[in-house]
Structure 1
Amino acid sequence: MNTHLFASKMASIPSVSQSQLFLKKPQFISSPTTCLFIKPSQSLNLSVSRSKKLVVVAAAGAGTAAAEEKSKKRYPGEGKGFVEEMRFVAMKLHTKDQAKEGEKEAQEKPLPKWEPTIDGYLKFLVDSKLVYDTLEKIVRKADFPEYAEFRNTGLERAESLAKDLAWLKEQGYSIPEPSSPGRSYSAYVEELSKKDPQAFICHFYNTYFAHSAGGRMIGKKVAEKILNGKELEFYKWDGDLSQLLQNVRNKLNVVAENWSREEKNHCLEETEKSFKFSGEILRLILS
């Protein structure tokens, strides 16, 4: 057909309004190169098909947006550095009467009256020294380079405990061998340190920082009960303790900057085990 004649015939076809799509008369749909003869029902099917495609595309876009939002999820304390994340998880494991941020319910049955014994306290000090000896040996050896960052922080406790045990021996007390809780924890962190630096750092943080807070309060109560108020070297630090702690916080935050989110989460998940081991050693005071 002559091109001009085709164009003239097409121009003579009246335009179809949107409302006429629902009439039963056939329609012509034209393009610059084709002329199609379509029934009204086919026109509707094309419209529905196009709508379905739009829905699928929109759903795919929403799924991608949700995945991106999830990847940007902020963890409690994350904005202040990884140490704040560790502190937040540790606080969650406290009961509400132990810390204002605690989330665990207090035990329904009250604990027996807190009566430390000298024999139990000696066991606690001996087992604690074994754990600190192990932690400090690990950072000196540094199987992983980041461990070396925590040498000579000023928080070390093994030497102070050695002095306390020597003094107690001078007072006539018999110093026991390390017991099961201390040996178990020492073996665990030593094995962990060789293959799992993120988990080891969790134990390192919780051991030193817990002693600088709750540990000091317990030491004061024990001294009043069984040591005539004597303050042991275990509860003394050279220099400003708050500054020593801040220095270690800074180092921990720097080390954790090189970890993936999965590695950080793995570190946080070790917190409960840290509490379990340290709690078993702490209970020796009452034995």
Structure 2
Amino acid sequence: MRFVAMKLHTKEQAKEGEKEVKEPEEQRVTKWELTIDGYLRFLVDSKLVYDTLEKIIEDAAYPYYAEFRNTGLERSASLEKDLQWFREQGHTIPEPSTPGLTYAQYLKELSENDPQAFICHFYNIYFAHTAGGRMIGRKVAEKILNNKELEFYKWDGDLSQLLQNVRDKLNKVAEGWTREEKNHCLEETEKSFKFSGEILRLILS
């Protein structure tokens, strides 16, 4: 999944990237025009997506979803703390917007009807946040948050070990899939990037 995901990055996002820069959010973060309002929209929609993912995993429409409970990568509670911090600074927290609502609904439908495609989104959402997501968080903090480190970018324990544990579980689950199911999972990567890109673009709104 990582190999396929890297091909969908631009050179500005990752050295293994192959995609041309077409959208503003595909440029280096240093070139972004940032505002607190745009960043709050991004955080709110991100929280809706993580809330949805964590509920799907908790309810486990397919038994193997339960393998991914309490991985340590969960972000919903951290985002709640961050939004509370922004409230305390006097900011108004917006309602979720179309990108987050659309993605959350899509994830719900996939999780019930297309588990291989859902797992692709699960992987890309959590793993992208620990890589490019963290780098974006640092740059945003430098530019508009006076270097305040948000809870969204903190994990309990050794992050590389948490990621490896989830990788091992993903590989174990995929062992039971046919070649067609594995290919189908990989083919969903582009959609995952499209939905996540629309949420990321809110930072620049």
Give TM class, smaller chain. over 0.9
Residue-pair matches, total: 202
In structure 1, C-alpha distance between the alignment counterparts of 2:121 and 2:23, rounded to whole Å: 29
**If you compute each CA radius of gyration, which structure gives the higher value, 1 or 2?**
1
Assess, with a 3 A threshold, how the Cα gap between structure 1 residues 257 and 233 changes in structure 2: closer, same or farther. Answer: same
Q: TM-score, normalised by structure 1?
A: 0.68
Aligned partner of 1:136 in structure 2 is: 54
Contact residue 138 and residue 149 of structure 2 kept, 8 A: yes
Q: Give distance in 1, aligned partners of 2:101 and 2:18.
A: 30
Aligned-pair identity in percent equals 80
User: After superposition, where does 1:14-163 map in structure 2 within 5 Å?
Assistant: 86-107=1-22, 113-163=31-81
Q: How far off its partner does 1:98 sit?
A: 2.3
Pairing 1:245–2:153 present: no
Post-superposition Cα deviations, 1:212-259, rounded to whole Å, max 9, x if no partner, equal 000000001111111100000000000000000000000000000000
Distance in 2, Cα, partners of 1:95 & 1:124: 21
The separation in 2 between residues aligned to 1:252 and 1:192, in whole angstroms, is 17
In the aligned structure 2, how far is the partner of 1:261 from the partner of 1:183? 32
SS in 1 for 2:49: helix
Task: Supply the distance in 2 between the matched residues of 1:197 and 1:186 (Cα, whole angstroms).
Answer: 15
Q: Is 1:182 equivalent to 2:100 in the alignment? A: yes
State the partner residue of 2:148: 230
Q: Choose from 216, 219, 228 the match for 2:134.
A: 216
**Alignment partners' CA distance in 2, 1:92 and 1:236:** 27
Write out per-residue CA displacement over residues 94-149 of structure 1, whole angstroms, 9 at most, x where no aligned residue.
12332222222344999694111100000000000000000000000000011000
- Does residue 258 in structure 1 map to residue 176 in structure 2? yes
Q: Which amino acid aligns with 1:121?
A: Y
Relative to structure 1, the CA distance from residue 106 to residue 122 in structure 2 (aligned partners, 3 Å threshold; closer, same or farther) is closer
Distance 1:258 1:105 in 2: 36
Separation (CA, whole Å) in 1 of partners of 2:156 and 2:182: 31
CA distance in 1, matches of 2:102, 2:68: 23
Which of these residues, 172, 176, 198, is aligned with residue 280 of structure 1?
A: 198
Query: Counterparts of 2:11 and 2:117 in 1: how far apart (Å)?
Result: 26
The residue matched to 1:265 in structure 2 has which SS? helix
The higher-RCO structure (CA 8 Å, 6+ apart) is 2
AA of the residue aligned to 1:144: Y
Q: Structure 1: which 5+ residue stretches go unaligned? A: 1-85
> Stretches of 4+ moved more than 4 A in 1?
107-112
> C-alpha distance in 1, partners of 2:35/2:43?
12
Equivalent residues of 2:117, 2:185 under 8 A apart: yes
Give unpaired runs (5+ residues) of structure 2: none
TM-score of the superposed pair, with normalisation by structure 2: 0.95
Moved more, 216-225 or 105-114: 105-114
Q: How far apart, CA to CA, are the structure 2 residues paired with 1:191 and 1:221?
A: 34
